[in-house]
């Protein structure tokens, strides 16, 4: 009777699932080989996308000074009654930059969605086995 | 009578700014509110605020005057200032937000685990911020002198005071509202007069367009040096935007990386819309024979339209110009304040101030120094100082951000070496400009536009020294990179 009562213990069954649904993020956090592969693929994909956009920017807008330097006659060309340089640099370049940015955002978000799907798919497979 | 519209505009803009600022102050309660508006600003509002902060006196007054003076080659300024946001969008926006740091020094320390890099970055933020603030205060002095005939220091002091009250009083939450308002004010103040002036111009028989034939429609200067200067300018503006302290601080107010991207995209649209207008003023200024100096935008309405309509339009552009000084100075002062308050005034040293108090003292110091410089040395060229701020940013923070975000091999030593080399190289250009060296040869060209050589040099140094010290790569690098690039929906340990 005088014995102290043992502390209460919660009794539970064995864990049903060995991994939480987001197990693969553990791989990324803990820097396993698999986590590295996942991250590297996302990083490569996003960097390649960024470089593609920048290449287009360099080839279109960035090449204009060289183009006008090599062919000074372009300064006299008129588009809609205005000199070409004014139409390009004063007007068209702005919607063009916006278009490049818009396409970039769509692709970058798609890359991230694919990445998230990949992680989920993988952890689903884990929980089934 | 001459000064009345300008005076009315000045008072109205200052009052509106303080009113919106104090409204924001009612919403600002915590230190987090002060620094990052508690990271909860939506893309539309945030983009307006970024646009409002970014469109400085150089954009509102300077571009039109430069284009009128030198023609299409000066269109590269607005193009570069917009394209800089595209480069920022694709390389920096989302990872920078995900880094979870507030200022550039925060980012550098978190990424490289080095107090030395942090200290160096703090110095650079303050230097670039002050270099950029100086012409804002000078421009304010010029504008007020042109609008109401006040002595030049009055405008600088008025802007300085409103900025200290706005920033020190309400912090980021209130500055965000003020700047969003000021973007739309600036757009309206340039758009409405432009439309009226164009209608009047058509009524006058559309004079002056036929004359656009000579070097005025050539998008770069003559010869190899013209080509170099243009490409150096392109490089400085395309890459410098991401390294401007007031631009970077804004990204931490986005809720997440995805919002940071969307915000930047909206900014691209807002800037593009605005930059369509200054060339219109330049062309009209040429048609009506306006004087080619920084007051072109302010003088043009009266030159084209007589009577009360001219006065109203003058008041409108004056209001816009004043909003430009206020918003850009607020943003810069806020960025410099953040660094001063965090690194100099709080915590680590004994007797440090508490969060909000440090913020207020920091704001006063951040404004007082460039204000004193602007009042004491009012002769430094406005456009050149802004251009050099871009060159310094492109030669220092751009390599740090790009290599820090995309390359695992960056070390603290590499970063320090690159920052020093890029900073000194571009600072040589600053000194050259202050000393007003005019030699006229290649040396002059290379120093006047240092970005084309100082940016590659900084990158090469950072890469080279990092390779040599590769055993010093911080151990947590991979973990940090994971945080930078993984979307927020993935539940990671984000430290």
Q: Distance between CA B183 and CA B60 in Å, rounded?
A: 11
Q: CB contact, 8 Å: B279 with chain A?
A: yes
Q: Distance between CA B187 and CA B272 in Å, rounded?
A: 11
Could you give the dihedral angle defined by the CA atoms of residues B53, A94, B140 and B71, in that order, rounded to the nearest 10 degrees?
160
What is residue B415's predicted lDDT score, i.e. its pLDDT? 93
Q: Is the pLDDT of residue B164 over 70?
A: yes
Q: Distance between CA B78 and CA A90 in Å, rounded?
A: 9
Say if the Cβ atoms of B75 and A65 lie within 8 Å: no
Q: Which residue, among B282, B318, B320, B277, has the nearest Cα to B143 in the 3D structure?
A: B318
Residue of B nearest to A20 (CA): B491
Q: Is the pLDDT of residue B333 over 50?
A: yes
Q: CB contact, 8 Å: A101 with chain B?
A: yes
Q: Which residues, numbered 68 to 97 in chain A, qualify as contacts with chain B under a Cβ-Cβ cut-off of 8 Å? A: 68-69, 72, 75-76, 81-86, 88-91, 93-95, 97
Say if the Cβ atoms of B217 and A84 lie within 8 Å: yes
Instruction: Spell out the residues 6+ positions from residue B444 whose beta carbon is closer than 8 angstroms to its own.
Output: B432, B437, B438
Write the CATH number for B70.
Answer: 1.20.1730.10
Interface test with B, best of A24, A26, A83 (most B CBs within 10 A): A83
What is residue B34's predicted lDDT score, i.e. its pLDDT? 53
Q: Which residues, numbered 92 to 121 in chain B, qualify as contacts with chain A under a Cβ-Cβ cut-off of 8 Å? A: 94
Residue B390 falls within a domain, yes or no? no
Say if the Cβ atoms of A25 and B227 lie within 8 Å: no
Of A98-102, B60-64, B211-215, minimum mean pLDDT range: B211-215
**B175/B271: higher pLDDT:** B271
pLDDT, average across residues B203-223: 68
Chain A residue numbers with beta carbons less than 8 Å from the beta carbon of B75 are 85-86, 89-90
For B272, the closest of A22, A25, A98 (CB atoms) is A98
Say if the Cβ atoms of A94 and B493 lie within 8 Å: no
What is residue B346's predicted lDDT score, i.e. its pLDDT? 66
The pLDDT tens digits of the residues spanning B32-79 come to 555 555 456 678 888 898 888 888 877 888 888 888 888 888 888 999
What are the CA-CA distances from residue B357 to residues B52, B119, B281, B337, B338 (Å)? 27, 22, 44, 11, 12
Q: Distance between CA B343 and CA B348 in Å, rounded?
A: 8
Q: How large is the greatest C-alpha to C-alpha distance in chain B, in angstroms?
A: 73
Tokens coding B176: 């965000």
Could you give the dihedral angle defined by the CA atoms of residues B140, B142, B148 and B153, in that order, rounded to the nearest 10 degrees?
70
Distance from CA of A69 to the nearest CA of B (A): 7
Say if the Cβ atoms of B279 and A90 lie within 8 Å: yes
Q: Which residues, numbered 3 to 32 in chain A, qualify as contacts with chain B under a Cβ-Cβ cut-off of 8 Å? A: 22, 25, 28-29, 31
Say if the Cβ atoms of A39 and B491 lie within 8 Å: no
Distance from CA of B326 to the nearest CA of A (A): 26
Say if the Cβ atoms of A31 and B479 lie within 8 Å: yes
Residue located via tokens 């871009």: B390
- What's the ipTM? 0.87
What is residue A20's predicted lDDT score, i.e. its pLDDT? 44
For B272, the closest of A57, A69, A94 (CB atoms) is A94
pLDDT, average across residues B274-282: 91
Distance from CA of B16 to the nearest CA of A (A): 31
Q: Which long-range contacts link B276-280 to residues 24+ away (Cβ below 8 Å)?
A: B276/A90, B276/A91, B276/A94, B277/B190, B277/B191, B277/B194, B278/B59, B278/B60, B278/B63, B278/B64, B278/B67, B278/B78, B278/B190, B279/A86, B279/A90, B279/B63, B279/B64, B279/B67, B279/B75, B279/B78, B280/B194, B280/B197, B280/B198
The residue range of the domain holding B301 is 4-382
Say if the Cβ atoms of A65 and B219 lie within 8 Å: yes
Residue of A nearest to B77 (CA): A89
Of the pLDDT bands very low, low, confident and very high (cuts 50, 70, 90), residue B421 is very high
What is residue B437's predicted lDDT score, i.e. its pLDDT? 57
Say if the Cβ atoms of A97 and B481 lie within 8 Å: no
Q: Distance between CA B423 and CA B7 in Å, rounded?
A: 41
For B90, the closest of A75, A91, A104 (CB atoms) is A104
For B406, the closest of A47, A75, A88 (CB atoms) is A47
Say if the Cβ atoms of A49 and B273 lie within 8 Å: no
What is residue A17's predicted lDDT score, i.e. its pLDDT? 47
Three-state secondary structure along chain B? CCCHHHHHHHHHHHHHHHHHHHHHHHHCCCHHHHHHHHHCCCHHHHHHHHHHHHCCHHHHHHHHHHHHHHHHHHHHHHHHHHHHHHHHHHHCHHHHHHCCCCCHHHHHHHHHCCHHHHHHHHHHHHHHHHHHHHHHHHHHHHHHHHHHCCCHHHHHHHHHHHHHHHHHHHHHHHHHHHHHHHHHHHHHHHHHHHHHHHHHHHHCCCCCHHHCCCHHHCCCCCHHHHHHHHHHHHHHHHHHHHHCHHHHHHHCCCCCHHHHHHHHHHHHHHHHHHHCCHHHHHHHHHHCCCCCCCCHHHHHHHHHCCHHHHHHHHHHHHHHHHHHHHHHHHHHHHHHHHHHHHHHHECCCCCCECHHHHHHHHHHHHHHHHHHHHHHCCCCCHHHHHHHHHHHHHHHHHHHHHHHHHCCCCCHHHHHHHHHHHHHHHHHHHHHHHHCCCCCCHHHHHHHCCHHHHHHHHHHHHHHHHHHCHHHCCCCHHHHHHHHHCCCCCCCCCC
The pLDDT tens digits of the residues spanning A12-70 come to 655 554 444 444 555 555 556 666 777 788 888 889 999 999 999 999 988 888 888 88
Q: Is the pLDDT of residue B157 over 90?
A: no
pLDDT, average across residues A110-125: 79
The pLDDT tens digits of the residues spanning B428-460 come to 877 776 666 565 677 777 777 888 899 999 999
Distance from CA of B284 to the nearest CA of A (A): 14
Q: Is the pLDDT of residue B239 over 90?
A: yes
Residue B27 falls within a domain, yes or no? yes
The pLDDT tens digits of the residues spanning B343-379 come to 777 655 445 566 677 777 888 888 888 888 887 766 6
**B450/B395: higher pLDDT:** B395
- Strand bridging mode A78-79 / A82-83: antiparallel
Distance from CA of A76 to the nearest CA of B (A): 7
Number of structural domains (chain B) is 1
For A91, the closest of B76, B265, B276 (CB atoms) is B276
What is residue B492's predicted lDDT score, i.e. its pLDDT? 66
pLDDT, average across residues B167-190: 78
pLDDT, average across residues B281-308: 82
Chain A residue numbers with beta carbons less than 8 Å from the beta carbon of B209 are 81-82
Residue B426 falls within a domain, yes or no? no
Q: CB contact, 8 Å: A56 with chain B?
A: no
Contact B403, B410 (CB under 8 A): yes
pLDDT, average across residues B173-197: 85
Say if the Cβ atoms of B218 and A119 lie within 8 Å: no
Chain B residue numbers with beta carbons less than 8 Å from the beta carbon of A68 are 218-220
Say if the Cβ atoms of B234 and A39 lie within 8 Å: no
Chain B residue numbers with beta carbons less than 8 Å from the beta carbon of A62 are 234
Global pTM reads 0.86
What is residue B392's predicted lDDT score, i.e. its pLDDT? 92
What is residue A21's predicted lDDT score, i.e. its pLDDT? 44
Of B295-304, B313-322, B372-381, minimum mean pLDDT range: B372-381
What is residue A30's predicted lDDT score, i.e. its pLDDT? 57
Give percent of chain B with pLDDT exceeding 70: 86
Residue B213 falls within a domain, yes or no? yes
pLDDT, average across residues B389-418: 92
Chain B residue numbers with beta carbons less than 8 Å from the beta carbon of A71 are none
Q: Is the pLDDT of residue B215 over 70?
A: no
């Amino acid at each position: 009777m005088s014995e102290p009562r043992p502390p209460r213990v919660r009794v539970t069954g064995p864990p049903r699932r060995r991994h939480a649904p987001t197990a693969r993020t553990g791989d990324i956090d803990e820097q396993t080989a698999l986590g590295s592969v996942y991250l590297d693929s996302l990083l490569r994909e996003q960097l390649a996308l960024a470089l593609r956009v920048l290449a287009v920017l360099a080839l279109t807008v960035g090449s204009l000074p060289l183009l006008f330097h090599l062919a000074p006659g372009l300064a006299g060309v008129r588009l809609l009654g205005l000199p070409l340089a004014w139409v390009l640099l004063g007007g068209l370049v702005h919607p063009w930059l916006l278009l490049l940015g818009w396409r970039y955002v769509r692709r970058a978000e798609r890359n991230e969605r694919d990445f998230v799907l990949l992680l989920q798919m993988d952890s689903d497979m884990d929980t089934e086995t | 009578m001459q000064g009345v519209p300008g005076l009315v505009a000045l008072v109205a803009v200052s009052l509106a700014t303080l009113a919106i600022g104090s409204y924001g102050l009612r919403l600002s309660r915590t230190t987090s509110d002060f620094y990052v508006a508690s990271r909860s600003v939506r893309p539309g509002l945030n983009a307006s605020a970024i646009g409002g902060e970014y469109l400085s006196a150089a954009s509102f007054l300077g571009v039109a005057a430069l284009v009128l003076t030198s023609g299409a080659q000066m269109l590269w300024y607005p193009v570069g200032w917009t394209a800089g946001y595209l480069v920022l969008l694709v390389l920096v926006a989302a990872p920078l937000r995900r880094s979870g740091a507030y200022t550039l020094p925060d980012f550098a320390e978190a990424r490289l685990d080095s107090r030395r890099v942090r200290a160096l970055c703090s110095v650079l933020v303050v230097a670039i911020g002050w270099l950029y603030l100086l012409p804002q205060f000078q421009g304010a002095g010029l504008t007020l002198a042109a609008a109401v005939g006040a002595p030049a220091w009055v405008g600088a002091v008025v802007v300085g005071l409103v900025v200290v009250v706005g920033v020190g009083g309400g912090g980021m939450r209130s500055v965000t509202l003020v700047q969003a308002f000021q973007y739309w004010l600036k757009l309206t103040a340039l758009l409405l007069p432009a439309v009226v002036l164009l209608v009047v111009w058509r009524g006058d028989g559309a004079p002056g367009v036929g004359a656009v034939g000579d070097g005025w429609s050539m998008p770069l200067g003559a010869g190899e040096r013209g080509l170099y200067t243009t490409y150096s300018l392109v490089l400085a503006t395309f890459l410098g935007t991401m390294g401007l302290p007031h631009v970077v601080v804004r990204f931490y107010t986005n809720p997440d990386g995805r919002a940071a991207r969307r915000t930047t995209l909206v900014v691209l649209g807002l800037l593009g819309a605005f930059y369509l207008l200054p060339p219109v003023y330049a062309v009209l200024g040429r048609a009506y024979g306006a004087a080619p100096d920084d007051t072109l935008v302010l003088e043009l309405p009266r030159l084209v339209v007589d009577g009360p309509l001219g006065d109203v339009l003058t008041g409108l552009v004056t209001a816009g110009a004043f909003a430009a000084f206020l918003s850009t100075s607020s943003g810069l002062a806020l960025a410099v304040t953040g660094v001063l308050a965090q690194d100099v005034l709080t915590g680590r040293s004994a007797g440090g101030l508490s969060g909000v108090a440090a913020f207020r003292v920091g704001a006063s110091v951040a404004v007082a120094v460039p204000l004193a410089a602007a009042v004491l040395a009012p002769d430094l060229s406005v456009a050149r100082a802004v251009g050099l701020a871009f060159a310094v940013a492109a030669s220092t923070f751009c390599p740090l951000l790009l290599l820090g975000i995309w390359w695992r091999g960056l070390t603290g030593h590499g970063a320090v070496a690159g920052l020093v080399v890029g900073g000194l190289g571009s600072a040589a250009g600053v000194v050259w400009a202050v000393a007003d060296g005019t030699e006229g040869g290649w040396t002059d060209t290379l120093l006047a536009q240092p970005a084309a050589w100082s940016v590659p040099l900084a990158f090469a140094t950072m890469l080279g020294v990092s390779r040599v010290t590769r055993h010093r790569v911080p151990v947590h690098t991979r973990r940090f990179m994971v945080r930078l690039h993984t979307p927020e929906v993935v539940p990671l340990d984000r430290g």
